A and B are shown apart, each in its own frame.
Chain A
Amino acid sequence: MSDSILVYGADWCGDCHRTRALFDQYNVAYTYVNIDEDAAAKAKMLELVDGRNTLPTVVFTDGSIMQEPSNDELLIKLNLRPAADETATPVVPEHDIIIVGAGPAALTAAIYTTREDIETLLFERGVVGGLAAVTDKIDNYPGFPDGVAGLTLADDLRKQAERFGAVIELGEVTGLKTQGDKTLVSSTSGDMLARAVLLAVGSDYKKIGVPGELEYYARGVHYCATCDGAFYRDKKIVVVGGGNSAVQEAIFLTRFTTHIDLLVRSKMRASDVLQKDLQKFVDDGKITIHLNTTTDEIVGENNSVNKVVITEDGTKKDLAVDGVFVFVGLEPNSQFLKDTPVELDEIGFIKSDDRMMTSMPGVFVAGDIRAGATMQIASAAGEGATAALKMREYLEGQPHPIQN
């Protein structure tokens, strides 16, 4: 028992910031215990919760304990909201900023907004860090003279955003609607209101659309080298594509495979630097490049791929292979915006004005998904920072919500 509520947390823990912000908002007195700075307190906490090391751990004055509670659970516990009163209209949670996606553009924007004390919630349906997190090594992001592993960069961006209080919800945003001067965001965690929204949803891998592609998905046909490459140790594969990603992924995959046929529909589109890297593997006999080559069919037996049918310079051929990795470009993740006023270009990228705002008021865009973006991590980060500052300007021109 204690005369004040104890919140055991850590500065990097987003849910701890959320909990403390809620207590502050409702004038609930509490003592914050940073377990990173107080080993004895951490030991005490672990003793109270049978070793379940989850933050925040909230100890109430009656001795009861909640771990990682939602805001709703806390309000009910503190008698600040009646439990499940069916006659009451449901309270739609409200946020200053909701960011859709948690890739480099989104996380950079969140570093800027939260550092200025603008409360920010991010939604991520896939990997925190976006495409950067599934890229093996990044050689052209400034500040890393020896390059940086995609996973490391992603994790560091996340930590930096969470340090200032950004909260990342694992879930998907499914729609947007204007409601007064706010935006109603529908998500797998329910509906919420936001004073401003940032769309930083990036793109996903494109399929080639040939027979066998869907049938052998993840059983011989793959789109993520860093995820599935390890299954091709000492095997023979093809990589489809001739752009930067295809070349980068083919080079990554040589660490597993005995040989790679690189199938390029017309000619190489990868940068000179990458092509020079690629040439070393061609000289060593680890990669063979096939230009003017279409991939026509993926064929297999007993749940695994054994050949691909190709047309090279007009001649049909079979290549005996164990697997196919496809990197033929990206498809914008804007399908969920179809029924909204957010204007897209012919391909599906989001149009914006010089404030990075879309055609829907209060809804901004940054990163790979923005029409005209240059599709690099450094530029996505830069756009995230710009969008954050533009959103702040927008919010300052708007009345603050009345806090109770």
Chain B
Amino acid sequence: MPKNVTIFTTNTCGYCQMVKKYLSAKGVGYQEVNLDEHPDRQAEALALSGAMTVPVTVVTKNDDSQEVIVGYNLAKLAPAVA
């Protein structure tokens, strides 16, 4: 179980729902930053991911290392939060 998971999302993004759905199904808690509600945090998402897209999922592991997953990518998301 990771230490912390933060997901950058928007209201209309279907792939964001899938990331949230996957984490809930696995019982992994997360914080959500909705960029429609917090447009000021867009630059942060961009800096972390290097891409102008959501979802961006930031997983902080127990050794404080971070993994950034761009998009809905189960091949990366599943092991990162295991």
Which residues of A sit under 8 angstroms from B71, Cβ to Cβ?
Answer: 218
Give CA–CA (A49, B12) in the complex, Å: 33
Which residues of B sit under 8 angstroms from A150, Cβ to Cβ?
Answer: 14
Is B51 an interface position by the 8 A CB rule?
yes
Which residues of B sit under 8 angstroms from A136, Cβ to Cβ?
Answer: 12
Taking the closest CB of chain B, its distance from the CB of A331, in whole angstroms, is: 18
Is A319 an interface position by the 8 A CB rule?
no
* A228 & B12 in contact (Cβ 8 Å cutoff): no
Interface size, chain B (Cβ < 8 Å): 28
Give CA–CA (A150, B22) in the complex, Å: 19
Which residues of A sit under 8 angstroms from B5, Cβ to Cβ?
Answer: none
Taking the closest CB of chain A, its distance from the CB of B25, in whole angstroms, is: 7
Q: A68-B25, A218-B52, A303-B50 are in contact. Are A227 and B35 (CB under 8 A)?
A: no
* A227 & B50 in contact (Cβ 8 Å cutoff): no
Is B48 an interface position by the 8 A CB rule?
no
Which residues of B sit under 8 angstroms from A222, Cβ to Cβ?
Answer: 52-53
Most A C-beta atoms less than 10 A away, residue of B14, B15, B17, B25: B14
CB closest residue in chain B, given A136 = B12
Return the CB mask of A128-153 against B: 1 if under 8 Å, else 0.
11000110100000000000011100
* B36 & A218 in contact (Cβ 8 Å cutoff): no
- Please tell me which one of the listed residues B12, B24, B42, B70 contacts residue A231 in the complex, with CB atoms under 8 A apart: B42
Give CA–CA (A232, B10) in the complex, Å: 13
Give CA–CA (A229, B53) in the complex, Å: 8
Q: Which of A186-226 contact B (CB under 8 A)?
A: 218-220, 222, 224, 226
* A128 & B27 in contact (Cβ 8 Å cutoff): no
Q: Which of B17-37 contact A (CB under 8 A)?
A: 17-18, 21-22, 24-27, 35-36
Q: A54-B27, A230-B42 are in contact. Are A133 and B52 (CB under 8 A)?
A: no
Which residues of A sit under 8 angstroms from B39, Cβ to Cβ?
Answer: 230, 233
User: Can you name 13 extra interface pairs (CB under 8 A) apart from A126-B72, A136-B12, A171-B74?
Assistant: A67-B27, A68-B25, A68-B27, A127-B14, A133-B14, A151-B12, A220-B52, A227-B12, A228-B52, A228-B54, A229-B12, A230-B10, A232-B52
Q: Can you list 27 contacts pairing A with B, beta carbon distance less than 8 Å?
A: A53-B27, A54-B24, A54-B25, A54-B26, A67-B27, A68-B26, A126-B18, A127-B15, A127-B18, A129-B14, A134-B14, A136-B12, A151-B12, A154-B14, A170-B18, A226-B10, A227-B13, A227-B14, A229-B12, A230-B39, A230-B54, A231-B46, A231-B52, A231-B53, A232-B52, A233-B39, A304-B52
